[in-house]
Amino acid sequence: MFNNLVFAESASRPTILVFGDSLSAAYRIPQAQGWVSLLAQRVKDNQLPYEVANASVSGETTAGGLSRLPAALRQFKPSIVVIELGANDGLRGLPLDAMKNNLEKMILASQQANAQVVLLGMFIPPNYGPKYTNGFKAVYLDLSEKYKTPFIPFFLNGISGHSDLVLEDGLHPNVNAQRKILENVWPTLKPLLISNINHR
């Protein structure tokens, strides 16, 4: 079911599950150079006792993610779930209420499975108008505050809009951007990993 898998050394270790779309699925770049693979290497280099699993699927919406998540939680039994979804909802102009409801159910399902959630936020281009654009951004902030999740407002910060860091489509991060994505995520994720170790 999941063909984008990246593992650290031991399957007996607690799992970080990255659950996203093409932005985390190493779209059109070598899998080993995607930011999730780089995360697995960073975890190993820091001698943190985790494995990393990537269940990201290109083109995924929050509705699709919600339908897939229960199986992923059963399969990987993650300690931490990094949710990176919503960009495709925004690009398709899908209703924000539905997007928020889907993300909320994913957060709750993850928490009910005893996993901590890290929420990766997205911005969308302004061509949908300020009401939709601002509402889209607010979805992530509202949910992170409601469920007290660690939160990165825009995990493509410093990448989006930089032609040297995106593919020809102007949207997807290229190989050169992947380490920057990791650096955007790592300062929020690392303290959580260390805290989990100390409380085990």
Whether 172 is catalytic: yes
Alpha-carbon gap, residue 72 to 197, rounded angstroms: 23
Q: Is 191 exposed, middle or buried (0-12, 13-18, 19+ CB in 10 A)?
A: exposed
Alpha-carbon gap, residue 103 to 46, rounded angstroms: 31
Under 8 Å CB-to-CB from 21, ≥6 apart: which residues?
56, 57, 58, 59, 60, 61, 65, 84, 85, 87, 88
**Considering 21, 37, 89, 172, which one is annotated as catalytic?**
172
Whether 169 is catalytic: yes
- Here the tokens at position 54 are 């990537």
**Considering 10, 12, 163, 169, which one is annotated as catalytic?**
169
Alpha-carbon gap, residue 66 to 194, rounded angstroms: 28
**Considering 21, 22, 89, 110, which one is annotated as catalytic?**
22
Tokens 């990791």 identify what position? 182
* Residues taking part in catalysis: 22, 169, 172
